Amino acid sequence: MNLRWIAVSILVLALAACAPIGGHQDTGQRDTQLEPITVRVSGFGTYADSAKDRLNTRKRLLARRASQLDAYRNLAERVYGTVIYGSSTVNDFVLNNDNFRTYVDSYIRGAKMVAVNEHSDGVVETVMELKLEPRFRACVSKVADDQVQDLCPIPVPRYNDSVGDVQSRGVDSLYYLD
């Protein structure tokens, strides 16, 4: 009997030692201490026939534009999410038809192109980044997921937004932007 009380008291003491110490911090104070988050994504585009189309300037520009649009889409998906619709048709316990449709409906402002690289296999890669300010993060934490796009626009960075940027040098692409 005494052994049981000793074991229970040791267990209670161990659980109490694992409890958090200190009070709850004010979220307003914590938001001012947050650093901006940099979201970096890549978008890809290519030619229909990389051997032949690489010499055609128009098709090179179209591949570059496709990679840029893919980067914007990836950035919007990363920040705001993707809407997915799906439907399936089952007949006699056999799947007959399975459809999924996704879309991104948002706008991005303040995004910056970091680099455009043309790889040897004909793939054009665009790297973009976006800095999410603490006020955007604070807004996202206070609203429902389906209302983020409407109630929390991405603010343009207030401070020096070139801090921490990656400088890509030695890129052998005709379309590299500084």
What is the count of structural domains for the chain? Answer: 1
* Residue pLDDT, tens place only, 12-61: 666 666 666 655 455 555 545 778 888 999 999 998 887 788 888 898 89
Strand, helix or coil at 96? strand
CA distance 40 to 26: 30
Q: Provide the greatest CA pair distance for the chain.
A: 89
Residue 6 lies in a domain: no
* Residue pLDDT, tens place only, 7-25: 777 766 666 666 666 554 5
Which range of residues forms the domain containing residue 87? Answer: 40-178
Closest to 173 measured CA to CA, from 102, 130, 114, 129: 114
Residue 35 lies in a domain: no
Residue 1 lies in a domain: no
Query: What is the pLDDT at residue 117?
Result: 92
User: In the predicted model, what is the mean pLDDT of residues 57-80?
Assistant: 90
Please tell me the pTM assigned to this model.
0.61
Residue 176 in this model has a pLDDT that exceeds 80: no
Residue 3 lies in a domain: no
CA distance 72 to 92: 43
